[in-house]
Chains A and B, each alone.
Chain A
Amino acid sequence: ETVLTQSPATLSLSPGERATLSCRASQSVSSSLAWYQQKPAQAPRLLIYDASNRAPDIPVRFSGSGSGTDFTLTITSLEPEDVAVYYCQQRSSWPITFGQGTRLEIK
């Protein structure tokens, strides 16, 4: 099983700041990684797929990078609506796995 480890567990930043979220895989997943955003009391939403492609209707302030075992989700110029838990997910090998999530708080 490919274990995804996200860091930090919680991130607290101010509006307008830049957020950098990390996801590390226990083995290479190539570019088969996605990021999801889950706002309070909502279902998850796909943000980034294939490591660096923005899903439809996702604002340009969200970007993804990385390949192999190390991946980053960057949110430039944070907005209050970005408060959420962010999960990474791999589909390179069965079982499909998710990271444990990073909670983003806005000060």
Chain B
Amino acid sequence: EVQLLESGGGLVPRGGSLRLSCAASGFTVSNFAMNWVRQAPGKGLEWVSTIAIGGTTYYTDSVKGRFTISRDKAMNTLYLQMHSLRADDTAVYYCAPRGLVGDWFDPWGQGTLVTVSS
């Protein structure tokens, strides 16, 4: 069974840093494009970042230069290193693979909440 477990969220001051983790089981993260999607409180879904099978990375404009996506093959884990956090980074962060069902986000983890205090 495919499962994703995000962790690392919490309360962080503005300008601070945080590293999110997404531990995967039931599949190998390096064999799929892995993604982070976030949802601000009461708002819709926003794609944040993708790491492709070959390692190429993509970011939404608002996080370029501040966030870094990476993966650890041995740990079968996806990461999101976040620096210079801002109030508008406050959100639940979900990880999801693309490629298990077509080339779409499926399944999703339960999410981890990041709160940036201003």
**Neighbouring B residues of A99 by C-beta, 8 Å:** 44
How many residues belonging to A are interface residues under a CB distance threshold of 8 Å? 24
Interface residues on B, range: 20 to 34
Contact A98 B102 (CB under 8 A): no
Q: Which of B7-15, B66-74, B82-90, B104-112 touches A?
A: B104-112
The answer to whether residues A56 and B45 also contact, given A43-B108, A43-B109, A43-B111 and a CB cut-off of 8 A, is: no
Complex interface bits, B34-48 against A, C-beta within 8 A gives 1, otherwise 0: 000000000011110
A46 to B96, CA, bound (A): 11
Q: Which residues on A sit within 8 Å (CB–CB) of B110?
A: 43
Chain A residues, Cβ within 8 Å of B47: 95-98
A33 nearest in chain B by CB position: B104
| Overall SS of chain B's interface | loop
* A44→B103 CA distance, assembly (Å): 16
Q: Is B58 an interface residue (CB 8 A)?
A: yes
User: In the complex, how many angstroms separate the beta carbon of A98 from the nearest chain B beta carbon?
Assistant: 4
B79 at the interface (CB under 8 A from A): no
Question: Which residues of B come within 8 Å of A, CB atoms?
Answer: 44-47, 50, 58, 60-61, 94, 98, 101-111
Interface residues of A (CB under 8 A from B): 34, 36, 38, 43-46, 49-50, 53, 55-56, 85, 87, 89, 91, 94-101
